[in-house]
Amino acid sequence: MKRRSRRSWRRLADAGFQTYLLRRLDIMNPKLIAIGCLTALLGCGFQGKLLDASAVSMTHSSLEPDETLKETGEIAEEFCPSPLAVDRYTGALDGAIAQAQKKSGADFITNASFFRNANGCIHVTGTANKIEKRATVP
């Protein structure tokens, strides 16, 4: 009988151990992979409507009694949080509102709706509004 070297025994043991692990854990089972992916999708990889709000703003906290809002147009913006950020969705609504306000020049966005799409981007729709002083009655 051919005598095996020490290296050959080690190689055989490594291969045996790997096969044993794969069989024991059954980690390559397609069903398990599918279940894992499905769980991840259903878990927090949420897609759909995040929030509806009557008004949102990143620049103003409220209106003074002598102020009113004037509609200036519709808004449909998409904000994609940086994929490199550690905590990707921290402040995603803040970013979406700030971007929409900056591009439209709005002080408030009324009838705002926020959606998260399949790419993980936040889509915001609503009406842009500028603050105006109320006309005083003489």
Partner 1 sequence: MRTRELSTLALSALGLLSSCTSHNYAQNVKTIAFDANVTKGTPLGPIRGEDCTWTVLGVTLGARPTIMQAFVNAKEQSGAVASAGFGFISKQTGNEVRYINNATTGSDGFNAYLLAKECFVVTGLGYR
Q: With binding defined as CB under 8 A, does residue 12 bind partner 1?
A: no
Q: With binding defined as CB under 8 A, does residue 22 bind partner 1?
A: no
Q: With binding defined as CB under 8 A, does residue 136 bind partner 1?
A: no
Q: With binding defined as CB under 8 A, does residue 24 bind partner 1?
A: yes
- Return the number of the residue (75 or 93) whose C-beta is nearest partner 1: 93
* Positive/negative CA dihedral, 57, 58, 63, 67: negative
Q: Which residue has the tokens 């915001």?
A: 124
Q: How far is the CB of 79 from partner 1 (least distance, A)?
A: 11
| Residue 68 to residue 129: CA distance in whole angstroms | 9
The site string for partner 1 over 47-86 (x = CB under 8 A, - otherwise) reads --xxxxxxxxxxxxxxxxx-x-x-----------------
Q: With binding defined as CB under 8 A, does residue 135 bind partner 1?
A: no
Please count the CA atoms within 13 angstroms of the CA of 16 that sit on its side-chain side.
6
Q: How far is the CB of 95 from partner 1 (least distance, A)?
A: 9
- Which residues have a Cβ under 8 Å from the Cβ of 107 and sit 6 or more positions away? 57, 59, 60, 69, 101, 129, 130, 131
Which of 122, 99, 103 minimizes the C-alpha distance to 51? 122
Q: Which residue has the tokens 């449909």?
A: 76
Residues near partner 1 (CB under 8 A) are 24-27, 29, 32-33, 35-41, 43-45, 49-65, 67, 69, 87-94, 97, 108, 110
